[in-house]
Structure 1
Amino acid sequence: MFIVACDDGDILTVDLDFEGNLERCDNFEEYHLIYDTREDPSESLILILPKNNANNALFTTPTPVGEPVTIDISSTNARFLFRTYNRNLSDSELCDIVPPYDLSIADNYEAFDGQIQITVTVVDDDNDGVPAEFEGLAGEPYEDGIYWDSLDTDQDGLPDYIDKDDDNDNVLTIDEIDNTDGDDDPTTNPLNTDGDLVLGGDELPDYLDSDDDGDNIPTYLEDVDGDQNPRDLSNYVVDEFGSDIFRYLYNHEDYLDTYPDPGKRVTTYTRTVTTSITIVGIDLEILRTTIIDFGTLTTTLEVTPSIFLD
């Protein structure tokens, strides 16, 4: 985007055609530094936000639909700068606590008016091989962005779409599905070791079955060494055909032992946070304009659900 501005009667052409793929420095103790850079000429756009609970949430928690966060530009609320340099910037040099000795700022222009508008969206996924649309996603997201009204097969307080172990049997969902047909829908080609059915005659697939072999011993109690993994080598047995098989998948009178409760696995889910930033009514020394699309910042978080932390 080229913007023509006036500076004491002179006509200036300011090129703000940056890519809009923002990066963030999180290593400064007192503030977040969000930036976009380009080469030839070497320039940057920088947004500085103080670290506090409200601003920290802009990289973790969604904003209400249609209600972006608005922050006034000032020396204490938010600073927006346009800078030029004596040479091209390398990756993350703006995040260095001590600037490189050979890097200097040629021009520094800071806004003294305007607003920052920030919209935050999130996508949560347990990366278990089952897309959320097939895991009972329902309702509207709550303030934290989670669809708490969705299906929760094991009733552990964590909806299936962000639960890596939907039936709470210590065997991860991704190890209990068959996607050889490539449609990402485990209901069309379900693994159902014991062939059991639920009310209505539908199959109860292994990833939703807490007793996969139907021997009346919960899968998580068929764990010989108690390491919360019924699929490790200690849990192999030999079936009537001489083949190795996991104990929890083999309903046989010789393998009906129940082992001590090992507890349940602690799992995480991935939260992808998109922070979109627009600058409104900016007033720099060399530039006045109505709106600048600063760009988007993507933050990926590994989240441990609070149910595992209590």
Structure 2
Amino acid sequence: MQQTVVDHIERVAEDVVSLVLRGATGPLAPWEPGAHIDLALPNWLTRQYSLCGDPADRESYRVAVRHDRLSRGGSEYIHRFLRQGRALDVSLPRNHFPLLPAPEYLFLAGGIGITPILPMLRAAAASDVPASLVYLGQSVESMPFADELRSSYGDRVRIVATRQQGRPDFEALASALSPGAVVYACGPGPMLAAAEGAFPSGRLYAERFRPAPRSFAPNTAFEAVCARSGRTVQVPDDESLLDALTHAGFPVASGCREGVCGSCEVAVLNGEPEHRDDIGAPVGRMYACVSRALSPRLVVDL
């Protein structure tokens, strides 16, 4: 973990605040567009937020947080109780949504989904790569960084207040894509579903804040062999691998517990995982909060 101090809190839209976290002991770890961090809050909760500042700034991180009316305690704490000067621990940045090289980009953002997209647009513009942004929100007042985007990128940014204008025609946007152009999208589930229906899958990269609804076979029990200790942990059908390991004395870092943040990644040395995450586990890895086993036994590097 890295030690930071809340340097600045600013309201940037209806129900959205921006936090600038300054390194308490020196420069912070580097990051690239698409990365996020775990924020360890004083109320004992850990939450994940996309970095939306400038990767060249090694002195501070910027994140933005929307107040979720059904908050499980994270956004509510930040909006109601967090104050300037508070010390906060943050993780090293992780990136499951990297900006890959392309001759042209179309960025789609919905609401707070602008946070990983904003540094992507900045990077494309700095590299003189053609790029445009379609930014959706119910109203302009609800859309963080709208003024910053307008002033910095002009007509490369299209702001769409859906309450008045409706959702843009994604099929028309798809038909207008130039050869080689790729699409990066982040936002609410219905927006991403519409994008997935309009853009070719090989040209669309999307990040979700909540897992997409999917069905899996019923859970079955399996064994997790912890290779470094030689111990075997029984994982019953009504318990996650993450919880079984934690209860057995092998605490694994965790955050979302929904398979979207990647904080609970463990290495698999043998056996066949059943991947249930939404971010695509690398070969030889799995996310212990949601994924299980297709084989009776998994050997993990713990």
Bin for the TM-score computed over the shorter chain: under 0.3
Indicate the structure whose relative CO is greater, using CA pairs within 8 Å and at least 6 residues apart. Answer: 1
TM-score when normalising by structure 1: 0.22
Q: Which is higher, the Rg of structure 1 or of structure 2?
A: 1
